[in-house]
Amino acid sequence: MNAESFVVFDNIGKRWNGQLGVENISIQIPEGSFVALLGPSGCGKSTTLRLLAGLEIPDEGEIHIDGLDVTEMAPSARNLSMVFQSYALFPHLSVAENVMFGMKVRKVPKQERLEKLNNALDITGLLGYEDRKPGELSGGQRQRVALARAIVARQPLCLMDEPLSNLDAKLRHSVRKDIKKLQRDLGMTVVYVTHDQTEAMSMADIIILMKDGHIMQTGSPRDLYGQPQNTFAAEFIGAPPMALINGGTISGSDHADKVGVRTENVTVVEAGKGRLTCTVAESEYLGEETHVLLEHPAAKGLVVKMPGYTSLVEGSIVDITFEDSTLHYFDDKGNRMS
Interacting residue with ligand ADP among 7, 23, 29, 45 (CB under 6 A): 45
Beta bridge partners of 261: 243
Q: Is 42 in the site for ligand ADP (CB under 6 A)?
A: yes
CB nearer to ligand ADP: give 96 or 209.
209
Contact between 58 and ligand ADP by CB under 6 A: the answer reads: no
Looking only at residues 9 through 28 of this chain, which bind ligand ADP when binding is defined by CB under 6 A?
A: 16, 19, 21
The interface partner of residue 16, options being Mg ion, ligand ADP, none and the CB cut-off 5 to 8 Å by kind, is: ligand ADP
Binding partner of 158, given ligand ADP, Mg ion, none, CB within 5-8 angstroms per partner class: none
Q: Is residue 81 part of the contact set for ligand ADP (CB under 6 A)?
A: no
> Which residue lies nearer to ligand ADP by CB, 41 or 311?
41
Residues binding ligand ADP: what is the number (CB under 6 A)? Answer: 11
Query: Is residue 194 close enough to count as binding ligand ADP by CB under 6 A?
Result: no
Shortest Cβ 16–ligand ADP spacing (Å)? 4
Least Å from the CB of residue 40 to Mg ion: 10
Under 8 Å between Cβ of 161 and 150: no
Residue 260 binds ligand ADP (CB under 6 A): no
**Number of residues written out for the chain:** 338
Which CB sits closer to ligand ADP, 5 or 46?
46
Is 146:84 a contact under the CB 8 Å cutoff?
A: yes
Q: How many CB atoms lie within 10 A of CB 256?
A: 22
Task: Judge whether 200 and 236 are in contact, CB under 8 Å.
Answer: no
What SS3 class is residue 126?
coil
Task: Find the binder of ligand ADP among 47, 71, 197, 217 (CB under 6 A).
Answer: 47
Distances (CA, A) of 187 to 32, 33, 175, 273: 5, 8, 18, 54
Q: How far is the CB of 45 from Mg ion (least distance, A)?
A: 5
Q: How far is the CB of 47 from Mg ion (least distance, A)?
A: 8
Q: Which does 43 bind (CB under 5 to 8 A by kind): ligand ADP, Mg ion, none?
A: ligand ADP
In three-state secondary structure terms, 176 is helix
Question: Which DSSP state fits 313?
Answer: P
Determine the Cα angle at 302 with ends 39 and 334, to 5°: 50
State the helix-helix crossing angle for 169-186 and 139-152, rounded to 10 degrees.
Answer: 10
Residue (of 200, 163, 216) closest to 37 by Cα position:
200
State the nearest-atom distance from the C-beta of 158 to ligand ADP, in Å.
18
Q: Which helix (H) or strand (E) holds 77?
A: none
Closer CB to Mg ion, 42 or 248, in the complex: 42
Q: Out of Mg ion, ligand ADP, none, which partner does residue 338 contact, by CB within 5 to 8 A per kind?
A: none
Q: What is the spatial distance between Cα 225 and Cα 219, in angstroms, rounded to a whole number? A: 10
Decide if residue 44 touches ligand ADP (CB under 6 A). Answer: yes
Dihedral of alpha carbons 268, 271, 274, 279, sign: positive
Question: Mask of contacts with ligand ADP, 220-259, x by CB under 6 A?
Answer: ----------------------------------------
Q: How far is CA 220 from CA 228, 266, 322, in A?
A: 11, 24, 26
Can you give the binding site for ligand ADP, defined by CB under 6 A?
16, 19, 21, 39, 41-47
